[in-house]
Amino acid sequence: MEGGELPRDKKVNEPAAMSASPAPSQPPIELFGSTLCPYCHMAKRLLTKHGLEFTEVSVDFHRARREEMEARSGRDTVPQIFIGATHVGGFDDLSALVARGELPALLARELGNDGSH
């Protein structure tokens, strides 16, 4: 790629074995992270464990992406996770959401939050 630019949208956990049938619908999930961040890797594993696809947005060496993350989340640490329009927070926040059993409700709510209301 020109200038060492990484692609912004890197889809992760796309089900390869299910090519004959579409993946279950889910809201868009974005994970702003950094290559060397252990909490980013743990967040990716947790999302993958739950069968969720997500877009990984690397903030490594990308000031504009980091500024976007900070503006949207109000935080300057990684990872920052968004499910649909909802800012979940970091790995600890995502993990707590899962532990409370609230992830399915958030996914359903955000799936219906397509702006057509």
List, for residues 37-89, the tens digit of each pLDDT value: 999 999 999 999 999 999 999 999 999 999 999 999 999 999 999 999 999 99
Higher model confidence: residue 117 or residue 60? 60
pLDDT at 103 > cutoff 60: yes
This prediction's pTM: 0.79
- Does domain 29-112 correspond to CATH entry 3.90.1170.20? no
State how far the Cα of 105 lies from the Cα of 89, in Å rounded to an integer.
17
Task: Report residue 113 as tokens.
Answer: 């939050």
* 14-40 per-position pLDDT tens digit: 443 333 444 458 999 999 999 999 999
Q: Give pLDDT, residue 99.
A: 98
- CA 96, 99, 104, 107: dihedral to nearest 10 degrees? 20
Higher model confidence: residue 11 or residue 102? 102
Q: Give me the phi and psi of 18, to 5 degrees please.
A: -105, 30
Q: Give pLDDT, residue 61.
A: 96
Q: What amino acid is encoded at 117 in this protein?
A: H
Per-residue buried b or exposed e for 57-86, using 16+ beta carbons within 10 Å of the residue's own CB: bbbeebeebbeebeeebeeeebbbbbbbee
So where are the chain's domains?
Answer: 29-112
